[in-house]
Chain A
Amino acid sequence: MQKKTRKERLIWLDIMITLLTLELMSYFYYGIRSVFLAGICVVTGFVAELVSLRFMKRSFTADDLTCTSDALILALMFPAVMDYHISVIAVLFAILVAKNLFGGRLNMIFSPAAAAFVFVLTSWDGQLLQYTEPHVKTGLFETPTNLVRSASYVFDHTGTFDHSDFEVLLGNFSGPAGAVSILLLVVAAIVLMMRRSISAGAFLGTIFGTGLFAVVTPMVSSRADSLKYSLVTNMVLFSAIYIVSDLRIAPKRDYYAFFYGLFIGVISYVLVLTGAKENAIVIVSVLFTPIALGFRHLEKKIDTAEQEHSEVNAGEAAVTAAGEEAASHE
């Protein structure tokens, strides 16, 4: 138990480190506003967690710090110039409604960040899906001007992507503050998988599903371009790491997690391809919650069956050994 508790904290630390590097990149492109937004989200998340734990009569432990990573994930999915009121409401929704109402980290059902993102999408899609260009630094309380649609939106609707590979790798294209730094995301994915802080099966499944369909039914004439841009746009990489592969939600066994991720990848790609649905992967990951729960239930049943089987085998072995011993004594 002690080991498990420690592990949860380490996972949070790993995730936070990778998120902070993304936030640093966001600061480079969008300035102090991006950091301030992230700070507001994290503080709101922390306070909401404290208050709700108090209502649930539970004490705050280091494991409950996951509320801050959830809030930071959400902040990184927003445009850097997102309205502060909306951000606060979104984080409150994530922590109070999508997480603690169902029992908090001990009984997770939804990814709090994903549920809150969809919540914002349904009420403030105009604010959520309009961004400033990189290197346009907006003051803390300045009203943003010259907002543009994301590069994902342009790609989904026109099939064009006017940025060099170098710009793509560094995240120098319009989109959510933290979900465009592709090089950092790739490094984060490798590190988190190696440290077992995300579900490798779910991550690889999502990438494989999206990639496979991007090659089989390409969005643009070149299959290589289709594969490349399908993975870097629509927050696919970011969501694959921080939402789909969330260890609290994804199936525990890599085998099942792979298929869980695969389905999410395939369905979200089809939605982008046929309906040009921006950031479909986040919506699909919320819709796939019952599937994740189903897989987890199945895993529990398999574990129980395996345990019973091993107990029976151990019992039989003990009886046989006792019988042999008795026979040798005779």
Chain B
Amino acid sequence: MKRTDFTLKPSLIAMLAAATLLTACGDDNDDDTAVVVTPPAPVMQTFAVTVTNLTANQPMSPVILASHASDAMLWNTGEMASEALEKLAEGGDTADIAALSVIESSINGTGLLMPGMSETLTLTLDEADVASISLATMLVNTNDAFTGINSYTIAGMEVDATTAMKIMAYDAGTEANSEAKGTMPGPADGGEGFNASRDDVDFVHIHPGVISMYDGLADSVLGASHRFDNPVLAVTIMRTE
């Protein structure tokens, strides 16, 4: 019985407090004057991001272009890759990156970005949300090579302003670069994409390049044309409106 009393008391206090709050609210409403506020029309900014695959024979998985706050990073060199980045780097899957809580909005390329080809992605953002963008894509004839831009600030870009950059290939460090049959999802192999096990150095770094079967890696299914050197991707960012 005593125990029940003890549990009742706090809840009674809570109910009384709630009643007091409600009363207070009611008083406030009586004093309010009806004001119709028209929210200002959102001012939009549009950015055209053009990517070009600079490799000889490394198709790139459909690009993800994402906008986010300036302190968000998709990866940090020398540190472990997130699982979302691992899925992108090993299998070209962008769903987990798009679902990251730090990502405000994202769009995808229409398909594989083939060697030598370009694609323009258009991102329209509310002016209030314009901060930084990131972009990522896998080099599909590799175990876990990827490239992209990592938290580039677009705030303050004028209309018609253009920024061009050339970017290197990174190694997610999550899958050994065996180049072996069945381990790479691209057309050179048709093998496995993401695998949750991590059997490499487990930090993001600059990719050392592929060796290929013609340069001493006995089990490699890759040939000379699958090798690459930096830079592997050209990116142009233009604010169009």
- Whether A and B are associated in the same complex: the answer reads no
User: What is B's interface to A at a CB cutoff of 8 Å?
Assistant: none
